[in-house]
Chains A and B, each alone.
Chain A
Amino acid sequence: METTLQEKKIFDTLKKYGNNKSRLIDILHELKNELAENKKAVRKILSEKLEISAAELDEVISFYHFFLFGKGKYNIYLNTSITAELKDRDKVKKAFERYCETPFNSVTQDGLIGLYDTSCIGMNDQEPAAIINGKIFTNLTPYRVKELVQGIKSNKPVEELMYENSGDGNNSHPDVNSMVYNNIRRKSIILNKDYPVYSFLKKGIKEMTPEEVINKIESSNLRGRGGAGFPTGLKWRFGCRVPSNHRVIICNADEGEPGTFKDRVLLTEYPELVFEGMAAAAYATGSDIGILYLRYEYLYLLKFLNKKLIEMQASNLLGNNIEGIKGFNFNIRIQMGAGAYVCGEESALIESLEGKRGEPRDKPPFPVEKGYLGYPTIVNNVETLATAVKILHFGPDWYSGFGTGDSLGTKLLSISGDCKLPGIYEVEWGIRLGEVLEMCGAEDVQAVQVGGPSGMLIGMKDLNNLNSIELMKWYKPSGMMVAEKFFDRKLSYSDLPTGGSIIIFNNSRDLLKEVVLNFMSFFIEESCGACSTCRNLPYIMKNKLQKILNGNGVKKDIEDLLSWGKILKASRCGLGQAAGNPILSSIFNFRYLYEKHIQSLVEFNSEFEIEKAVTAYSKFVHRKPVLYHLQ
């Protein structure tokens, strides 16, 4: 390496993290520029100091979107989510390519600008959106792109390119300084600001034993809000079963399911509630380590959140003997992700926290027994923790007054797509989907994706023979696509479960070509690659769908797709198991869309041509391709 300045920075960074290889993600974030400039040399020092092989290092670097790319001085990450596509992403993309004079997923010749496709960045309510050097740019248009690129070419700092502090609420807080909008459209028990922050930590907690805290959460029947709906009280109870010197509370803020952005809003407007929830969980379970895993797309919130934590430490709401309770020691740090959907899966998240590739672990043991660094670990969703605080303050009976049957309380919905008022809606569980659509001003609706791409597509044809049990068979981890006759169904764990993502498509949309293909590309891009099923099948399935759309499909192709869906269930984690859902559920419920394209009289149609397939080999070895026996 040429400059010792660079070397010094590497050694300083390593020192800062105590040469601890479990902090590799942080180290790589800080050394991003050095890595881009002189990968080999940096790699050598890192692998020596951290005692990991160069191959292991590459394995980690190549896993994360934001390490793999980002070679330009300005890096533009344009969101590929379906709502961006619906809002003319294509024009914006072409504008970027035209003004930067380079195609996407490459860097300009002078190394100034890198253009990259990027999976959902949590801005579905203000698409098309892009991240440029950590800052979010929303509602992009080709005209705006022209301005941006001109600004970049004259080397303006990224802050000058944006309309500073133009977002609402805390988005214009000096520490956030973003042009993002919260778009909170409906408030209920969680979002109502009727709760003086930290009241539970300051007062209520002293009147309760840890056991009582767990009991309260259990009797409220609070279920995990990430989508899977595991009972929170039970998880906390499991978390303190195994004896251990340390216990860990992790707040999962890696919301990667396309279409969800509720955690973004909670962390912007209600961070106190989230951190207090973590502290309450720590008190209940006797945990001392707290980590908020924040997706890298929300980097713009980091400074703001860190300041909140420092404030809490200063007033003894975090630290040792919190609020004078002897032995209640708990601290929180924020860990940035680096761009990987699968890290939303709790065991993959833990792997990532330990500085490795975010590949889900084989279970058992479950994280509540053996999680982060081997300690019992409880991973809760942002919304779950915020809700827990309100339950502890107002009581489980108050909470049970809202919601329905097996789904008590409220749910934050992230609504986007073809509707007048995209944004965050807090609704009571049990609300009819039709009412949700009225609420957000959606008209001429063809289908609704409830729960993101891993969800399901439900149409009119199968409605009569579809019951909840069948639905639940397909549901993993959250949601489904729903068509008109189905809009009377109610959002709840037993009927229409959801992690909160609601994407609406009107009748002008081509569900297969626009929506399903986009969702499949998402799963192909985001597979961690650990299981061959999830690594290969979504790709094969997407090709098959393309074959059908090309007019070469036969009935058997649809059956093949269905049987591969079953094979996908062999994958290790819920995300891999759900990777075929866009196709499976659309066949299940919109089968007529497939049948429209297939050749009904042909039994089998292979697109394979042996003459073409042997040409490359025959040419290279100078051999005449004799194929008479195959004719």
Chain B
Amino acid sequence: MIEKSNKKIIATASLAGCFGCHMSILDIDDRLLDLIELVTFDKSPINDLKQFTQPIDIGIIEGGCCNSENIENLKYFRQNCKTLISLGECAIMGGLPAMRNGISIKECLQEAYLDGPTVQENKEGILPNDEELPLLLDKVYPCHEIVKIDYFLPGCPPRADLIWNALTAILLGKDIELPYEVLKFD
């Protein structure tokens, strides 16, 4: 893993996302074989590596930030990655998790753990407050409000072609071309 080569090093993470964007990365299909000629994956759910083992060229972030662990993780990525990419709706705009942004955290927790119709056995009214748990943020933040983000790749999830076009452009030092057909969501 630590062998020296000309390959660029990629790391990925999913914060407050659904892993759909990671699925879309896999969806570049047999081009993965071409990609692997150009890059090496470091810390990423794809290879299940938990720690950075070397300085990273390109970090790819899926999802926004909904808790303190997301913030920590994102800052960790920023410190270790030369280039950082927000991949997909949630990383760029908060996405589905940000639907809670109009509702207070108190109401959210009450509905989820105390009053909601699907709450069955919580007679003592326990709320998630174990010290092991990350702290919830008052709202879901897009990544660029926490750290500097270099590129934004939109979609829910971004199309495989979009990911491929953008990644190869960045790897080859070209401008990212995103025609409407690749960009549009539906």
**Which residues of A pack against B, CB within 8 Å?**
362, 531-533, 536-537, 540, 556, 560, 563-564, 566-567, 569-572, 603-604, 606-608, 610, 612-618, 620-623, 625-627, 629-630
Contacts and interface: CB of A to CB of B under 8 A. Distances in A.
23 contacts: A532-B89, A532-B156, A540-B93, A560-B149, A567-B92, A567-B154, A570-B154, A570-B184, A570-B185, A606-B146, A610-B71, A613-B138, A613-B139, A614-B136, A614-B137, A616-B105, A617-B109, A617-B137, A620-B105, A620-B127, A623-B131, A625-B135, A626-B131
Nearest to A615: B138
Contacts of B146: 606, 608
B37 interface: no
B128 to A, nearest CB: 7
Q: Is the interface of A mostly helix, strand, loop or mixed?
A: helix
B72 A629 contact: yes
B120 interface: no
Given A572-B184, A621-B129, A623-B129, 19 more contacts: A362-B186, A532-B185, A536-B93, A540-B93, A560-B152, A563-B152, A569-B183, A606-B146, A607-B145, A608-B141, A608-B145, A610-B68, A614-B137, A617-B137, A618-B135, A620-B106, A621-B127, A621-B128, A623-B135
Nearest to A620: B106
B142 interface: yes
A603 B148 CA distance: 9
Interface in B114-156: 127-129, 131, 135-139, 141-142, 144-149, 151-152, 154-156
Contacts of A572: 184, 186
Contacts of B148: 556, 603-604
Contact of B105 (A560, A617, A622, A625): A617
B95 interface: yes
Contacts, number: 94
A605 to B, nearest CB: 10
Contacts of A563: 151-152
B94 interface: yes
Contact of B93 (A362, A532, A556, A623): A532
B142 A540 contact: yes
9 nearest CB pairs, A to B: A621-B129, A617-B136, A536-B93, A623-B129, A614-B135, A604-B148, A570-B183, A621-B127, A613-B137
A630 B104 CA distance: 24
Nearest to A626: B131
A572 B109 CA distance: 35
Contacts of B178: 566
A533 B146 CA distance: 20
A559 to B, nearest CB: 9
B135 A617 contact: yes
Given A540-B93, A620-B106, A564 B147 contact: no
B135 A531 contact: no
Contacts of A556: 148
Interface string B84-107: 000001001111000000001110
A620 B131 contact: no
Nearest to B72: A630
Contacts of A560: 144, 149, 152
A614 B127 contact: no
